Structure 1
């Protein structure tokens, strides 16, 4: 059994989905693990991770529109916690409704994703941020 750990820094452009599939796939390919399990952990409380369709940008647009309706930005009248602005508490709620950790099987040295799937970092703040993800891969050499 072999393990590998990596910290991946991702620059976001503000609220929305950033495709991290290529960076994750490239790192996994270089680890010499043929069959295993990849865990990706987001070290933030106002960003999250998703596996989602990568073919139509409308999916990402509709997802963001849905979350905007479900968790609107607000100020003092909407949320008590707003020390960092009107998008602060909504970002925490969005992260709570999505996932900060995902697991992806690895086969033949590649994450096993469906034809139309990609791995995304979901930035929930409106301003650009630098986010850190921790990738942990465990498995058999191959």
Structure 2
């Protein structure tokens, strides 16, 4: 009888730990995420990144894609399971990036690089929330 109770308690403990470990403290809807992707020129890319970062340089038939992702945590802090999101995370928003898609006359199939020409319908922008052990809590498609 004692062995049966010990086995049941062990199974319940493992299931509870796995649920807690893989349970996100919040979902994507809590962030009110907004995003955009657009094709830009060299000057537009540099202007979007500002003076503290250098935009990749596109020449010839290369393409530049500007992306922006913004979010907020509202007036309150989100707390759950010992995790805490504070106002400091808001300072990372908006995230601005520029991606270069180089044009190659003869694509090198061994080179694992996305190349021009690309269309907006070819691109996928997603936000992924990963836990401390690199477990994926959730992924949200933003564009594409």
TM range (shorter): under 0.3
Rg larger in 1 or in 2?
2
- Bigger helix share: 2
TM-score, normalising length: structure 1: 0.28
Compute the TM-score of the two structures, normalised by the length of structure 2: 0.28
Which of the two has greater strand per residue?
1
